[in-house]
């Protein structure tokens, strides 16, 4: 499993720009190159999301991607499959609102794993704290083809949720370079960006531009 949980891995509290390799946008055979570009652009954490792929295929892709992330010193997260974390050399897993509990995900992923949880309202975000995830996703802020069945929650409550909850909060859902500044002005400190990075003509430059905006804001934890 290589250097999983190595001391040089960036802590989740220092992560600002969360990239997701989604097979809805990137073919499995192109994952390695896209990951390389996103890392060059400055993403702080990378997730593999492969909703329609078999566990065997996810493991195959993850084994290609985890060494890239470990070399860069950034956490590598699997979506939905904590049971594959150890075998894949990943650093943790992300579970949805209707998936298993954080406790169960930690048991499957193994000691020291990073476990994230999706939340889609302020109420869900507050409730998630009782499960003690390492971070939460909060959104979707805007309409997004990645989550077409979810109602956008907007940006009005971002600042309040950050004031209430003492853990890393990654705002997600329809966030792009073109609307990132208003999202940050609304109180966001960390974001997940998917299609705007994956579909960019130059993913390296797009990620770098997003990272620069994130680094331009005052940040303390």
Average pLDDT estimate for 138-149: 82
Residue 103, preceding peptide bond in cis (omega within 30° of 0): no
Question: Tell me: the pLDDT tens digits for 29-78?
Answer: 999 999 999 999 999 999 999 998 999 999 999 999 999 999 999 999 99
Sign of the Cα torsion 12, 16, 22, 28 reads negative
Domain-located, residue 220: no
pTM for the whole structure: 0.94
Q: Strand, helix or coil at 88?
A: helix
The tokens of 120 are what?
A: 């889609």
What element of type H or E holds 121? Answer: none
Q: What is the CATH number of the domain that holds 89?
A: 3.20.20.70
- The CA-CA-CA angle for residues 201, 206, 208, to 5°, reads 145
**How many structural domains are present in the chain?**
1
Separation between Cα atoms, residue 70 and residue 89, nearest integer Å: 9
Range of the domain at 159: 14-215
């Amino acid at each position: 499993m290589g250097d999983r949980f190595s001391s040089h891995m960036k802590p989740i509290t220092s992560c600002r720009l969360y990239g997701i390799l989604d097979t809805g946008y990137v073919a499995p055979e192109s994952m390695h190159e896209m990951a390389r570009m996103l890392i060059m652009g400055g993403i702080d954490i990378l997730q593999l999301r492969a909703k329609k792929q078999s566990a065997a295929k996810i493991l195959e892709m993850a084994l290609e991607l985890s060494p890239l992330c470990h070399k860069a010193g950034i956490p590598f997260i699997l979506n939905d499959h904590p049971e594959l974390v150890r075998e894949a050399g990943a650093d943790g897993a992300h579970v949805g609102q209707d998936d298993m509990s954080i406790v169960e995900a930690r048991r499957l992923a193994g000691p020291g794993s990073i476990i994230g949880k999706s939340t889609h309202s302020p109420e869900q975000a507050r409730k998630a704290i009782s499960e003690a995830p390492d971070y939460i996703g909060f959104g979707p802020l805007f309409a997004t083809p990645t989550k077409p069945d979810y109602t956008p929650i907007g940006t009005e409550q971002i600042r309040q949720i950050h004031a209430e909850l003492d853990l890393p909060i990654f705002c997600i859902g329809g966030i792009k370079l073109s609307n990132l500044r208003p999202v940050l002005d609304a109180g966001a400190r960390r974001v997940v960006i998917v299609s705007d990075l994956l579909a960019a003509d130059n993913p390296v430059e797009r990620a770098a531009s997003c990272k620069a905006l994130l680094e331009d804001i005052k940040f303390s934890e």
